[in-house]
Amino acid sequence: MSLIRGKDALILIPLYYKEKEVRGFKKIIILEEEKAKTMMEDPDKKKDVQVLNTYWSLLSWAEQKEIVRSSAMTNPDGSKDTDWLRLRDHRIKFCLKKWDLKDDAGNELPLSGNIIDTLPADVVFALSNEYDRITSSSTDDEKN
């Protein structure tokens, strides 16, 4: 297997969730994958589970450097630091390549930074955390 990946190689990251009416608004509840799959096996609970399929690219070293560089901030004393929220935002908007997100009328929504910015923060954090989990090396990966 080559260490150089093709640009068209994407990682599928599904986000399982359900909506719950809370005090007049719909609250998004993120579900763990195993719990969602168990719920989907139950005919009564299956209708509650929704899935957003997202497709992500892996970063090359050059892309990683550019994202880190573009996330730099200058402190009042002139020293440089990384704005971690900006870094996460840049990485999400660069690596998330496609999705099957639809509006309430069932129309597909285009993938754009503006639309990502309108998503609930919990959804973006869950997607980002799952991307980090999947793409990070761990000792468990070595054992498997």
Domain total in the chain: 1
Tens digit of pLDDT for each residue in 98-130? 999 999 899 999 999 999 999 999 999 999 999
Average pLDDT score over the chain: 90
Task: Confirm whether 143 is domain-assigned.
Answer: no
As a whole number of angstroms, the distance between CA 96 and CA 118 comes to 15
The residue range of the domain holding 126 is 11-136
Taking residues 51-75, what's their average pLDDT?
94
Q: Quick check: is 16 in a domain?
A: yes
Q: How big is the chain by its Cα radius of gyration, in Å?
A: 18
Rounded to the nearest angstrom, the gap between the alpha carbon of residue 107 and the centroid of all alpha carbons in its chain is 21
Whether 51 maps to a domain, the answer reads yes
| Position 23 in a domain | yes
Report the alpha-carbon distance of residue 65 to residue 75 in Å, rounded: 20
For residue 3, is it within any domain?
A: no
The whole-angstrom separation of Cα 55 and Cα 11 is: 5
Residues sharing a CB contact under 8 Å with residue 65, sequence separation 6 or more, in sequence order: none
